[in-house]
Amino acid sequence: MFTDDAGKGGIAAGGPGNSAESNRRTGGDLVQLVTPGGERVSHPEFDPWLQDVTDEQLGALYEDMVVIRRIDAEATALQRQGELALWPPLLGQEASQIGSARALRDDDFVFPSYRDNGVAYCRGVNPEDIVKAWRGNALAGWDPYTVNVATQQIIIGAQTLHATGYAMGIQNDGADSVAVAYFGDGATSEGDVNEALVFAASFQAPVVFFCQNNHWAISEPVRLQSHIQIADRAAGFGIPSMRVDGNDVLAVMAATRIAIDRARHGGGPTFIEAVTYRMGPHTTADDPTRYRDANELEDWAAKDPIARLKSLLERKGLLTEDLETAVAAKADAVAKALRAGTINMPEPQPMDIFKHVYSTPNSSLERQQDHYSRYLASFGDPAEAASEEGAR
């Protein structure tokens, strides 16, 4: 029945001109509401979506961004200190993650990639749970249903299919929540993402495709991957899209609100391209100086998302000493807790591997579990084993 609905009212009905109907934009100019210098620019289409944002909320967005940058820096340091096996830094993408995550309702469901640690933080994931999988202490750091965030997807773009499927489930339930898939520019070249876009359009599923175009798919620049703007790829699937300044937290928030509202009210999927920049390496095991021009990095440093919001707050007279002190204290506290939580994290036990395989008892698994525990017992005391070896 949903395909019928799409046929009647959806944009699949009659060629590309459909995107011009109503207020749906497709790609188009980059929307920016705050300039790199911190000046608020008015925008007739986007401004109405931000009318309820209070001064206090602006301060909260600032705090969020500072805190997740701090989590990111601390986790990077923890990796260098041998406490984490790997870490994918999000430096530079704070506005994209905070602006979008703060536009969601608690019952909306997020399908993140491995870099969306700021999104996880906003959804209430404990920072030490964010790093748990990167330490190798668990296969996943949290229970998706307590925070409505799926575990971070390592396979590039696979989560867009999960999000689309979840959104189709929302339709079947008759609920009004929305699924949000987070992915990067590189993922848009993956088959999974293209399939997800096809299904989302066909079924007019309530899903938002939130693409952080951070310009680099590891070492592959976006200009090699796509000869058109990433946002314009959505048009080929009949999905309306927006292209926003991903370093402008307000532009990102407004765009996400527009997309979420459309999905919530039966308007189907929307694709958002947040144009941002990965200031750090792909992961801590990467050396971006091998492929990236230092000038490019410098250009983007001038568009820093946190500095930009800070300037806006300053212009509005909101950047009080109290705010700065409180934000710094919060960042310090979160970093400290993250560090302590990480280095004192209990080691996983061998038998833990059987814990989350089935939600109900399974006799076959129980047999394996029994065999494995007896196998482990055959080693006896490890210290004893070592001396036996020494004696030989």
Partner 1 sequence: MIKEFRLPDLGEGLTESEIVAWKVAVGDTVALNQIIAEVETAKAVVELPSPFAGVVAALHEQPGTVVEVGKPIVSFEVEGDDGGPAGSETAGGAGADAPAKREPNLVGYGAVLENSGRPSRRARSFAAPAVAVAAPAPVVEPVAPVVEPVASAPAVAEALPAAPVSAERPRSTPPVRKLAKDLGVDLAAVTGTGEHGLITRDDVRNFVGGGDLPVAPQDLAGVSTQAPAQGERETRTPIKGVRKFTAAAMISSAFTAPHVTEFLTVDVTPTMELLAKLKASRAFAGYKLTPLTIVAKAVLIALRNHPTLNTRWDEATQEIVQYNYVNLGIAAATPRGLTVPNIKDADRMSLLELSTALTELTDTARAGKTAPAELSGGTISITNIGVFGIDAGTPILNPGEAAILALGAVRKMPWEYQDEVALRQVMTLSLSFDHRLVDGEQGSRFLQDLGAILSDPGMALAMV
Using CB under 8 A as the criterion, which residues of the chain lie in contact with partner 1 when the complex forms?
73-74, 77, 79-86, 135-136, 223-224, 228-229, 281, 283-287, 289-290, 293-295, 339-340, 343-344, 347, 378-380, 382-383, 385-390
- Report how far residue 202's alpha carbon sits from residue 199's, in angstroms, rounded to the nearest whole number: 5
Given the complex with partner 1, which of 340 and 353 has the nearer CB atom?
340
- Report how far residue 141's alpha carbon sits from residue 321's, in angstroms, rounded to the nearest whole number: 36
CA distances, 171 to each of 9, 57, 104, 174 (Å): 16, 32, 18, 5
**DSSP code at position 155:** S
Cα–Cα nearest to 100, from 206, 204, 182, 215:
182
Q: How far is the CB of 78 from partner 1 (least distance, A)?
A: 8
DSSP for 67-126 reads HHHHHHHHHHHHHHTTS-S-----TT-HHHHHHHHTTS-TTSEEE-BTT-HHHHHHTT--
Strand extents, DSSP E, the chain: 109-111, 179-184, 207-213, 216-217, 220-221, 241-245, 270-275
Q: How far is the CB of 118 from partner 1 (least distance, A)?
A: 20
Given the complex with partner 1, which of 24 and 243 has the nearer CB atom?
243
Given the complex with partner 1, which of 53 and 77 has the nearer CB atom?
77
Q: Which amino acid is at 111?
A: F
115, 278, 308, 339: the catalytic one is 278
278 catalytic per annotation: yes
Q: How far is the CB of 86 from partner 1 (least distance, A)?
A: 6
Q: Which two tokens stand for residue 40?
A: 């608020």
Q: How far is the CB of 363 from partner 1 (least distance, A)?
A: 27
291 catalytic per annotation: yes
**DSSP code at position 219:** T
Q: How far is the CB of 54 from partner 1 (least distance, A)?
A: 35
Contacts of 24 (CB under 8 A, 6+ apart): 11, 18, 240
CA distances, 134 to each of 139, 351, 371 (Å): 9, 20, 29
Per-residue burial over 258-297, b if 16 or more Cβ lie within 10 Å, else e, is bbbebbbeebbbbbbbbbbbbbbbbbbebebeeebeeeeb
* Contact indicator for 136, 115 with CB cutoff of 8 Å: no
70, 257, 282, 308: the catalytic one is 282
372 catalytic per annotation: no
Given the complex with partner 1, which of 20 and 385 has the nearer CB atom?
385
Q: How far is the CB of 169 from partner 1 (least distance, A)?
A: 36
Contacts of 22 (CB under 8 A, 6+ apart): none
Given the complex with partner 1, which of 174 and 390 has the nearer CB atom?
390
Given the complex with partner 1, which of 130 and 313 has the nearer CB atom?
130
Q: How far is the CB of 173 from partner 1 (least distance, A)?
A: 41
Given the complex with partner 1, which of 123 and 339 has the nearer CB atom?
339
In three-state secondary structure terms, 31 is: strand
105, 291, 371, 375: the catalytic one is 291
The residues annotated with a catalytic role in the active site are 278, 282, 291
